[in-house]
Amino acid sequence: MSRRTRRTTAVVMVALLAGGLAACSSTGGRKAVEDAERARNAGKATTPTMTVALVTHSGPGDTFWDIVRKGAQDAAAKDNIKLQYTADPDGPKQANLVQQAIDKKVDGIALTLAKPDAMKAVVGKAHAANIPVVALNGGLDSWKAMGVTAYFGQDEKIAGQQAGERMLKEGAKHPICVIHEQGNVGLEDRCAGVKQKIPATQLLYVNGKAPASMQTAITSKLQQDKAVDYVLTLGGPIALIAVQSKASAASKAKVVTFDTSDQLIAAIKTGTVQWAVDQQPYLQGYLAIDQLWLFKTNGNTVGGGQAVLTGPAFIDKTNVASVEKFAASGRR
């Protein structure tokens, strides 16, 4: 091979090698961009944006409902949903919030039916407007009759029975069940379930909007009735108030509760609260919003016409550590 031929061949080989490297670099670059795009969109819907109203009977500032809201927000972010969240403990006012959502022509409504009689008419109006409705947390005995698409929550009577059974096994004879919102069917059902297992259970109604008043009422009860051996509250923050009441009354009663929060988890760790009944509020918010997206985009319903139960489960010293890390994120 001549010197000139060798030079020509070398130039050609360099050119081919350079071209090959450029092609690999180009391919690798495109793949990297595509991989990054897939990573950004992983788990996120590419369907058209929906608007969903979440209307509950309690709202921001309540530790339980903050967890429900977190679940709803996470599902909304995944499903390309604009979430509109409003709340009011008054039944007619909550119904008015639902009517406002109907007037805005939202794509779906998730609501609670803690006071079902007040909500029946407006749920019918949502149906008339072809807006799908799902229920969460409250209204287990009412949602089907109202034609609601799905329900997410726990059976409050069963949860109350299980709480009663546990207290009974632990030796409870004279518990009190503290109801912080009169007329809330879910709270009433919890105490009714407890009373089925421990007939001596006394109901104590307190003003859930006034912490100082609640503490005074529980303290007074413990001072007047030394036979009370368990105080069952129906919300994590109220359990912490009951702990203060117990100390003020120099009572030996044990404090147990429904529902959790990061502060309640700490109280279980220290033993000032014995245990909590967990209904996984994050799941209630998440599943309710996700169901509306599934129904709207693919005609799916979950539960087979039955309620999707998110509880009850017990959190105590034996498993509190496994829950604690999730509570810190605001999701348990």
Q: What is the pLDDT of residues 230-269, one digit of tens each?
A: 999 999 999 999 999 999 999 999 999 999 988 999 999 9
Q: Do domains 50-154+283-301 and 156-278 have the same CATH topology?
A: yes
For domain 156-278, is the CATH number 3.40.50.2300? yes
Structure-block tokens of residue 71? 């679940």
Show Cβ contacts of residue 206 under 8 Å, excluding neighbours closer than 6 positions.
178, 179, 180, 213, 214, 217, 218, 238
pLDDT score, position 62: 87
The lowest-confidence range among 16-25, 107-116, 176-185 is 16-25
d(CA 181, CA 64) in angstroms, rounded, equals 14
Contact yes or no for 80/47 (Cβ under 8 A): yes
Query: In what helix (H) or strand (E) does residue 82 lie, and over which residues does it extend?
Result: strand 81-87
DSSP 113: -
pLDDT score, position 13: 37
pLDDT score, position 254: 98
Domain boundaries, the chain: 50-154+283-301, 156-278
Banded model confidence at residue 43, pLDDT cuts 50, 70, 90:
low
Q: What percent of the chain has pLDDT over 70?
A: 87
- Phi, then psi, of 103 in degrees rounded to 5: -60, -30
> Amino acid letter at 147?
G
Q: What are the residues facing 50 on neighbouring strands? A: 81
- Phi, then psi, of 190 in degrees rounded to 5: -60, -50
> Amino acid letter at 234?
L
Residue 126: name the closest of 187, 216, 53, 57 by CA: 53
d(CA 56, CA 66) in angstroms, rounded, equals 11
Contact yes or no for 287/308 (Cβ under 8 A): yes
For residues 84-105, average pLDDT = 97
Residue with tokens 């421990």: 198
Query: In what helix (H) or strand (E) does residue 234 lie, and over which residues does it extend?
Result: none
Q: Could you report the per-residue pLDDT of 98-111, keeping only the tens digit for each? A: 999 999 999 999 99
pTM, to two decimals: 0.82
For domain 50-154+283-301, is the CATH number 3.30.70.20? no
d(CA 92, CA 33) in angstroms, rounded, equals 53
d(CA 180, CA 211) in angstroms, rounded, equals 10
The answer, yes or no, to whether residue 175 has pLDDT greater than 80, is yes
Residue 129: name the closest of 108, 102, 98, 96 by CA: 102
